[in-house]
Structure 1
Amino acid sequence: MKHGLRWMVVAVPLLASGCQQEAQGSAPRATPKAAAPRPRVTDVTAEDYVMQPLPRGHVRLEDAFGGARRVEVEIAATAGTRARGMMWRKELAEGKGMLFLFPHEEVQGFWMRNTLIPLDMIFITSDLRVAGIVSRAVPRSLESRSVGVPSQYVLEVPGGWTEKVGIRKGSPVRFEGVAGMAIEP
């Protein structure tokens, strides 16, 4: 009984104090608010831009020894996907790449803005031959890279890959899973 009485002696003043604060108009305790939704990022070059998965296909390139090298590619066929390219990627596995499709054959120029890894750029003509190669493009550079001759397609692969497997200017190229794809200006 003494134990129960002690509990009441402590609890009653605490309860009275809480009621008194409420009666005096103390501010209620703030409940945590849910974080406001972040605005949707619309700049395709921004690191936190969420891009839809790209269509996939394959590119076969003939090497200097008469063998074929097959690269699994993501296909960039719109202005937005071409602008984004390989930006913000931290790695690109061997045998993987990105194929850029342009509406017309013309001299193409690429930069490495927001690109974190070195890349080889293989410029391909409309009749599917390698027009030229930019090897080991330096990451995060604004320098325009080109081979100075018209091309309609550009294949980006890991830096140093073309030299390693023997891809050369003039090598024949074949696309798989690309035919009929709409190319937007």
Structure 2
Amino acid sequence: MMTPRRLALVVLPLLLSACQQDAEGRQPTPPPAPVKPPVTDVTAKDYVSPPLPRAHVRLKDAFGGVHRVEVEVAATPDARTRGLMWRTELADGKGMLFLFPSQEMQGFWMRNTLIPLDMFFITSDLHVAGIVSRAVPKTLESRSVGAPSQYVLEVPGGWAEKVSVRKGSPVEFEGVAGIEIVP
């Protein structure tokens, strides 16, 4: 059995240590802040997209010249839904290439897209099926070219006219072959 004197000898150093921490201004460690769950809505501004594969698209213009575009590749449903939403700029020579599992009628909107875009709808045999020029930002209107396509390339608005790429122009992909297209 511990005597009161022995108990005091054990407890007193603990109390002195606590008082010393208070005197030195050290605060007890606060509990950790609650963890905020990650944003899962791919259309939300604060959604953090995983990095997308990179590749290049080469388009032949009406005069035989070739224009190379560095692209991020959207080959999954989430990446295709997110697209270029919330971007505030897109430099010339940059874009996004959307890969679909098969050729069909494609329609694109500009929800949460802040910049005007040109959209090249590309057939499975790699020709431009049609172009939507200068799509108006932040609209829900579906844009299509009225012809089936398997791929869609988005670039800065006005780029198609500037480089003279037209319907029927041939297209080549570089670095796309190994990318899995998820339905």
Range of TM-score over shorter length: 0.7 to 0.9
What runs of 5+ residues in structure 1 fail to find an aligned partner? 1-28
TM-score, structure 1 as length reference = 0.82
Aligned length: 157
In the other structure, the counterpart of 1:75 is 73
Kindly report the root-mean-square deviation, in angstroms, between the aligned alpha carbons of the 2 structures. Answer: 1.4
Structure 1: 4+ residue segments shifted above 4 A: 29-34
Output the CA distance in 2 between the equivalents of 1:74 and 1:173: 16
In the other structure, the counterpart of 1:137 is 135
TM-score, structure 2 as length reference = 0.83
Query: What percentage of residue pairs aligned between the two structures are identical?
Result: 76
Are 2:121 and 1:84 equivalent residues in the alignment?
no
In the other structure, the counterpart of 1:154 is 152
Are 2:98 and 1:104 equivalent residues in the alignment?
no
In the other structure, the counterpart of 1:5 is none
Q: Using the TM superposition, give the Cα deviation of residue 34 of structure 1 relative to its aligned residue in structure 2, in angstroms.
A: 5.0
In the other structure, the counterpart of 1:174 is 172
In the other structure, the counterpart of 1:127 is 125
In the other structure, the counterpart of 2:36 is 38
User: Secondary structure, in 3 states, of the residue corresponding to 1:59?
Assistant: strand
Q: Which deviations, in whole Å up to 9, do the C-alpha atoms of 1:59-111 show, x marking residues without a partner?
A: 00001110000000000000000000000000000000000000010000000
Q: Using the TM superposition, give the Cα deviation of residue 33 of structure 1 relative to its aligned residue in structure 2, in angstroms.
A: 5.9
Q: Which amino acid aligns with 1:113?
A: R
Q: Which deviations, in whole Å up to 9, do the C-alpha atoms of 1:118-157 show, x marking residues without a partner?
A: 0000000000000000000000000000001000000000
Q: Using the TM superposition, give the Cα deviation of residue 180 of structure 1 relative to its aligned residue in structure 2, in angstroms.
A: 2.8
Q: Using the TM superposition, give the Cα deviation of residue 30 of structure 1 relative to its aligned residue in structure 2, in angstroms.
A: 10
Q: Which amino acid aligns with 1:148?
A: G
Output the CA distance in 2 between the equivalents of 1:35 and 1:109: 44
Structure showing greater radius of gyration is 1
Q: Using the TM superposition, give the Cα deviation of residue 31 of structure 1 relative to its aligned residue in structure 2, in angstroms.
A: 8.0
User: Of residues 30, 48, 51 in structure 2, which corresponds to 1:50?
Assistant: 48
What runs of 5+ residues in structure 2 fail to find an aligned partner? 1-26
User: Secondary structure, in 3 states, of the residue corresponding to 1:164?
Assistant: helix
